[in-house]
A and B are shown apart, each in its own frame.
Chain A
């Protein structure tokens, strides 16, 4: 077989390039400590690493959500404990003042101011805020947008607030008023949303929501100038025709309706995700825990005010009734405290599970992505030797030629 100079040199060059490029690859891996330095190194591995990283980020976010829940629940629990303490105080006062033998109008008069203090303290606990949000207002928690959940004066009859207009257009210059008697037994936010655009009143269509705008009823079109329309639970809304501008699409009219009592919030709760598709409710609404419109049957503020009235009026029977009412009240609060405890437990368990998952996933990322340092260093020194050999061999090859032997 003929062998030419170029064949020898080409062979040398190709070998050198091969060894050099493999050497280079190893250098890159040593510098970055990663097996995958670009997608083509291991495309499937890369996709897997992306997914793992995404899961880890989600876990971090869930942890952060859980921390927020934890702080809210802890503060809620401490406020509830405070309320429980003052209920125990109230009961002691009631018991002390119950027997008409050792008590009279004068002593009961002194007790009234104590009970007034307790009521003040209750209001401050029930209207507590955290980060600008009321703790016990249901979902009407924004301190700037809503009033305090508990007022000191009782609403003796259901109330309907005037409609608040909002919406994309806001030019409507007719009037909207409310009437009728609210028949619901909890506070609700009714929302009327216009779905037609620029029609006259009679041709306009609208939908009604009774849960603050989450879900909507069927579309209606029975608006008429000056005619009251019942939107639900006895609330009547009356539109009058505008002169210059008509109702526009997505014009919104919010009507807040309150039942009797001291409570101004609603019965919804905040929730947040603490895991994939795992929604976690972490607040308690004032309606649930402090009023008789939730699962419980005691209106705490009412009970305290009843005791105060009974003491003022020297009402024996009233004071006696207060004692058992206050006992029921304590039980209701304790149920709330127990719920907080269970929630904290659940957060602990979920948190631990997420931490374990995080560790596992970190390990899986490392397995796919990180280099095996021992193997890498061994291969690296082998390639170094191979490179040295190639250089030595290449330098030698030119010595072998017939030209050395011709005179």
Chain B
């Protein structure tokens, strides 16, 4: 065995251990980096072979590869969870906002105004000619219609916000897709085995998680570590270095709402393709949840208007005229929606046109009939009162919100557990890295010792020759 080869062995060992220490240093430096997977240097016995006649020795060591320690299946599970969490989170946020709008736990909302409206009619019934009582009826009615208008507008604004957020989400999805394609391109150019791909792979993992939060995706990896990302229906978003960006177009029925489409295929609407993620949550809020609530509010407003108007029209006002409409809807073509309900202008201009009397003699019995609507079962197929319908409407909102909060809390705790598991496998443990540091330092020292031993041996050889 030549002495020179000992130098080579020492040199290889020194360099390898130095690399290993650098890797340890990288791990320790990145202990707080989000999404970082710890790297390990793989020591391999050298391929250099020393022939001694028929005997072959392997000698030396080299770093074969610097590998990331991660569990791909766990990562897929985490992304699934992030996807469901994103869906729950976006719905929870909107439902909580809706709940705040209808929060009448301390009174002052539609329920109370409706009751005050009935009370005003009862007061008018005992003194139908009194202008104070009539004015009170009109002002109670105006507060009521104002509340209806406000609630409807608030619900519509939540829809608008969800709509705007959909467009923003599409932008961030597109930017993520571009980044993934970018990394796919870079990965090919980096030589394997040098660990140079590791930070690219970490970044790409993070991007996939971010994308999963938005939409549900499937990821397929090729043999050269580039990936293809599919939507749930198999249509690709990223195919190696080719991307298919998403875009928004105006919905046919409602021009102010967006439909999600591919930028290069604007006829195919993708709204129903998504099964989870923030985007689906937003679409559901905009297209399912809020319209259902608006319909209930509209039904209530329409029934209030209908019932009051029909009773108003059987009575007589102070001029001996048959009563007209008490409530109108200020929109043409006429739509019986809560947003447009208002008190008839004629009555606002002249309170004597309130038809409080049942007969031509100026009694107040028609006002009493309208006031007794308080107890009449006119909603839900004649099983509930108007106030009762509203109470169960608010309870429904509360229930939906409570359900979503529970679902979100559960998903969130699941995420903590999964993240913990990931940490356990891929996270950096300072204690472990310190032990490794000691280990590699010792190896380095030993290699240095080898080097000086080889030098000593050479010196001895040299003195021999003199």
Contact = CB atoms under 8 A, between A and B. Distances in A.
Interface in A44-82: 44, 46-47, 49-51, 53-54, 57-58, 60-61, 64-65, 68
B361 interface: yes
Interface string A141-184: 11011100000000000000000101110000000000000000
Contact of B371 (A47, A271, A273): A273
Interface stretch (A86-94, A208-216, A293-301, A335-343): A208-216
Contacts of A68: 126
A166 B423 CA distance: 86
A140 B364 CA distance: 11
A357 B125 CA distance: 24
A72 to B, nearest CB: 9
Contacts of A272: 122, 125-126, 368
B317 to A, nearest CB: 9
A50 B111 CA distance: 7
B401 A271 contact: no
Interface in A227-273: 250, 252, 254, 266, 268, 270-273
B158 interface: no
B107 to A, nearest CB: 7
Most buried by B among A6, A140, A144: A6
Contacts of A191: 359-360
11 contacts: A2-B429, A4-B423, A47-B392, A51-B391, A53-B115, A54-B391, A139-B363, A145-B361, A168-B322, A276-B375, A277-B372
Contacts of A369: 105
Interface in A1-46: 1-7, 10-11, 14, 32, 34, 36-44, 46
Contact of B430 (A53, A54, A403): A403
Contact of A50 (B100, B106, B125, B390): B390
Contacts of A396: none
A317 interface: no
B399 A146 contact: no
Nearest to B434: A402
B102 interface: yes
Contacts of A46: 105, 391, 394-395, 398
B420 interface: yes
Given A10-B416, A139-B359, A40 B401 contact: yes
Most buried by B among A34, A37, A40, A49: A40
Interface string B357-381: 0111111110010011011000000
A114 interface: no
B366 to A, nearest CB: 10
A272 B367 CA distance: 10
A163 to B, nearest CB: 11
B176 to A, nearest CB: 24
B319 interface: yes
B429 A10 contact: no
B126 A144 contact: no
A361 to B, nearest CB: 14
A3 B127 CA distance: 80
A38 B405 CA distance: 13
Nearest to B385: A54
Contact of A51 (B123, B371, B388, B396): B388
A47 B395 contact: yes
B394 A39 contact: yes
Given A39-B394, A406-B434, A271 B365 contact: yes
Contacts of B416: 10, 14
Nearest to B433: A402
Contacts of A40: 96, 99, 398-399, 401-402, 405
B269 to A, nearest CB: 33
A270 B363 contact: yes
A43 B427 contact: no
A95 B102 CA distance: 76
Contacts of B420: 7, 10-11
Contacts of A38: 99-100, 103, 105, 398, 401
Interface string B97-119: 00110111111000110011011
Nearest to B119: A61
B221 interface: no
A193 interface: yes
Contacts of B363: 139, 141, 268, 270
Contact of B387 (A34, A51, A146, A277): A51
A374 interface: no
A145 to B, nearest CB: 5
A213 B304 CA distance: 25
Contacts of B257: none
A138 B360 CA distance: 13
Interface of A: 1-7, 10-11, 14, 32, 34, 36-44, 46-47, 49-51, 53-54, 57-58, 60-61, 64-65, 68, 131-133, 138-142, 144-146, 164, 166-168, 189, 191, 193, 211-214, 250, 252, 254, 266, 268, 270-273, 276-277, 369, 401-403, 406
A43 B423 contact: no
A189 B363 CA distance: 13
Contact of A254 (B122, B360, B435): B360
Given A38-B398, A46-B394, A131-B127, A166 B321 contact: yes
Contacts of A51: 387-388, 391
Given A54-B391, A167-B322, A276-B375, 17 more contacts: A6-B423, A7-B420, A36-B105, A37-B105, A58-B115, A65-B122, A131-B127, A132-B129, A139-B362, A139-B363, A140-B361, A141-B361, A145-B129, A168-B322, A214-B359, A268-B361, A271-B365
A321 B107 CA distance: 68
B425 interface: yes
A3 B359 contact: no
Contacts of B303: none
Contacts of B387: 50-51, 54
B431 interface: yes
A390 to B, nearest CB: 16
A43 B402 contact: yes
Nearest to A52: B391
Contacts of A2: 424-425, 427, 429, 432
B135 to A, nearest CB: 16
Given A58-B115, A132-B129, A212-B361, A10 B419 contact: yes
A15 to B, nearest CB: 10
A212 B391 contact: no
Interface in B421-443: 423-425, 427-432, 434-435
